[in-house]
Structure 1
Amino acid sequence: MRLRVLILTNLFPTPWDPLRGTFNRQQFERLGQYHDVDVLTAVDFRERLGGRKGEVKVSGLRTDHFTFVYPPRIGRTLHAMCWLLSLLVQRGRQLRLANYDCLLVSWAYPDAVAVGWLARRLGIPYVVKVHGSDLNVQAEHALRRPQIRSALHHANAVIAVSEALATKAVALDADAARVHVLYNGVDPGLFAPGSRSQARERLDLSPDAPLVLYVGNLKLAKGCLDLLEAFPALLAEHPRAQLVYVGAGPCQTSLLERASALGCADRVFLAGPVPHGALPDWFRAADLLCLPSHNEGVPNVVLEAMSCGTPVVATRVGGIPEVLPSQAGLLVPAHNRDALSQALIDAAGTRWERDAIVRQAAAFRWDDNVSRLAGILRDVVAASPSPLRATA
């Protein structure tokens, strides 16, 4: 049974942020092999004002966007209503006429809350995919929590990227029988072991200096400043070590200023954001990846680094412990910079068995992930009453 599926999310590449939501891009593009998929992405109105930064072309999908308009700085609890009104004003007629079989929404708030209301309006089932901070952070706010709870409770299925997140979804009143754990995947054709020296040569990096790599948004919740504070301890053991940040975000200036204050600015480098297809060389070039996040689902960079044979130092949060065994890396408590310093030193002194790390990553493949996702959507539609197409 081939379905007509509409995906709604804020986590997908757009001309205003071409690198956004690459994990969703990989998953949804493959889902298009099973079902007819449209992707409608919410673009923050402030982002629209910043101008286009590139073009986005995704084979096998019909993609579009709408502008999410809301009152800035106030009324965060009204964002789901604003999200839905923005969607209906700009794409309402299109949605009423499209005759979708089901909706898939990626991110709990405001996206899933709004889509829950939309699905009831259209009379079709909906599936919620949750990622991490949408439940770990957003659901902790008193006025948003009941909205998220309702969206999860009424969903025909909930897809969580880790067991930890699935447990949280059930605690938020999702029907346990409808909650599915579906770890993100890796493309082994792209993320695979390779020559470290050749990767460093292509990236114009030192051929032999120990290299710690961070890949992700440069924001406090990702622990990027914790990593910087922990780095001097590694430098004391390995004076030629380098710390490279790949990504962009609000902490960029703070990182540069703090590196200067710590006296290690000459060993810290901000490479900026890079296309997803360029990440394998960064993982191959690194001695280890460090991601000291304060909360997570299962970050794809951990799986992708492992698929390249690169060990990982990460925090014991969310679903990371579920995918990172001791033979592939080290885990530390979040916010603990002393423990992070020691883990960096220990990881740098460990002789890692790269083949064992790659074998661990082999359990996470997009083909398996998407086959299960396609089946979940079919089951949801098969179990639902015939859609009552909206006529209003």
Structure 2
Amino acid sequence: MSLRVLTLSTLFPDRARPNFGVFVERQCRELASREGVDLTVIAPVGIAPWPLSRHPHYAPLAALPLQERWRNLTVHRPPFTVIPKLGGRFTIGAMTRAVWPLVRDLHAEAPFHVIDASFFYPDGPVARTLANRLGIPYSVKARGADIHYWGRLPATRKAVVQAGQDAAGLLAVSEAMKRSMIALGLEAETIRVHYTGVDLDRFAPQDRAAAKARLHLDGPVVLCVGNLITRKGQDLLIRALADLPGVTLLLAGHGPDRTAYEKLAAEVGVADRVGFLGAVPHDDLPAIYNAADVMALPSASEGLANAWVEALACGTPIAISDVGGAREVLNDPQAGRIVDRTPDALATTLREMLAQTPNRVAVRKAALRFTWATNGDALLDHLSRIAGKSA
């Protein structure tokens, strides 16, 4: 079997954003490792027009190479113009114009068999146009905000639905996400649930006391891993901390709400017990998961959060809201709790969890079915089928 795959992804790490879309990169590396698969990644980079392109957020992106070898993958990074706050409705056209000449030339050299779009917006609609021009099938994967936000936003909903309806096959990160896609008007028969993976060798239990000592931590520790944005609910954890004396809250992630959360921590009198870790390199996360007694993520919406599975793989129980694939992951009460998104409910649940000594083997067991090998097998089978190839 020979399968030439073009992965199109606006979620992909680079030297300016090493944590950005690491799960997409890992999925690509797994697929590329399979015999007979020739994978090319196009990771378009959105940059605001001058003079905003000189802003500290965009300047490092503008300096990225147009092509490079990134962890044994050939990655192209064509820039396209984004208009901050107003760009959603213009993104598809701008990205298509930037990507098409490159795709056309690469396809002329060695034809692709299938396009794999790793996010529903803007990747899905752009993949739809590219596939139509090349006369090949395409697939789109739904991960969370691409359906829950872009799929509902009036300016982009039509493009999202059309990309899903015209695709040869679709992927969903959870059964819950599949139901959301169906509710949006997509056909159930075209949707395959495709769970994420976790590196079970790197994300594994370590001695908790030693892990805390290395990070100079003492006493109960609650960890939250996620971007500092309202949807993730870190503000609820900060408020809950006021009713959890002696507990330390670590926030691993960066985002626009950090200043507001620092102010909130001071207002509720817990600033000395909240640690803002910033964007933690992915390779450093296992040590932090192991230093935590509980990983809490009270999100308003998720597909199936990688942080859930990574924490469980480290033997750290989780406290999460009833969103996305939460009930698909938490199939054993020893692995954690589903909790209401209120400070009081979080404080009560975390207090109960911190008073218990978890069976870390049982906690880790909940993550064992989420392997990258299984993820790669399923993706190869899916893309091979829609490309008319035998896997």
- TM-score, normalised with respect to structure 1: 0.91
Name the structure 2 match of 1:332: 339
Name the structure 1 match of 2:33: 33
Tell me, yes or no, if structure 1 residue 87 matches structure 2 residue 99: yes
2:267, 2:362 → 1: CA distance? Answer: 39
**Contact conserved, 2:64 with 2:77, CA < 8 A, in 1?**
no
Going from structure 1 to structure 2, the CA distance change for 1:302 and 1:45 (only over 3 Å counts) comes to same
1:59, 1:75 → 2: CA distance? Answer: 31
**Contact conserved, 1:296 with 1:317, CA < 8 A, in 2?**
yes
Tell me, yes or no, if structure 1 residue 226 matches structure 2 residue 236: yes
1:368, 1:30 → 2: CA distance? Answer: 10
Tell me, yes or no, if structure 1 residue 242 matches structure 2 residue 248: yes
1:173, 1:6 → 2: CA distance? Answer: 26
Q: Counterpart of 1:6 in 2: which secondary structure?
A: strand
**Cα drift, residue 54 of structure 1:** 9.3
245-254 or 280-289: which moved more?
245-254
**Cα drift, residue 76 of structure 1:** 2.4
2:63, 2:207 → 1: CA distance? Answer: 32
**Contact conserved, 1:16 with 1:50, CA < 8 A, in 2?**
yes
2:47, 2:63 → 1: CA distance? Answer: 15
Going from structure 1 to structure 2, the CA distance change for 1:289 and 1:125 (only over 3 Å counts) comes to same
Tell me, yes or no, if structure 1 residue 13 matches structure 2 residue 13: yes
**Contact conserved, 1:16 with 1:48, CA < 8 A, in 2?**
no
1:272, 1:305 → 2: CA distance? Answer: 18
**Contact conserved, 1:42 with 1:66, CA < 8 A, in 2?**
yes
Tell me, yes or no, if structure 1 residue 368 matches structure 2 residue 374: yes
Q: Counterpart of 2:82 in 1: which secondary structure?
A: coil
2:16, 2:287 → 1: CA distance? Answer: 26
340-349 or 301-310: which moved more?
340-349
- TM-score, normalised with respect to structure 2: 0.91
**Cα drift, residue 333 of structure 1:** 2.8
Name the structure 2 match of 1:197: 209
2:340, 2:129 → 1: CA distance? Answer: 38
Q: Which runs of 5+ in 1 are unaligned?
A: 385-392
Where does 1:216-365 land on structure 2 (aligned, <5 Å)?
A: 216-235=226-245, 240-325=246-331, 326-334=333-341, 336-365=342-371
Q: Counterpart of 2:176 in 1: which secondary structure?
A: helix
2:227, 2:234 → 1: CA distance? Answer: 8
**Contact conserved, 1:161 with 1:181, CA < 8 A, in 2?**
yes
1:182, 1:145 → 2: CA distance? Answer: 23
Q: Counterpart of 2:186 in 1: which secondary structure?
A: coil
Name the structure 2 match of 1:73: 85
Q: Which runs of 5+ in 2 are unaligned?
A: 49-56
Name the structure 2 match of 1:109: 121
136-145 or 114-123: which moved more?
136-145
**Contact conserved, 2:88 with 2:155, CA < 8 A, in 1?**
no
Letter in 1 for 2:328: E
Count matched residues: 377
Q: Counterpart of 2:197 in 1: which secondary structure?
A: coil
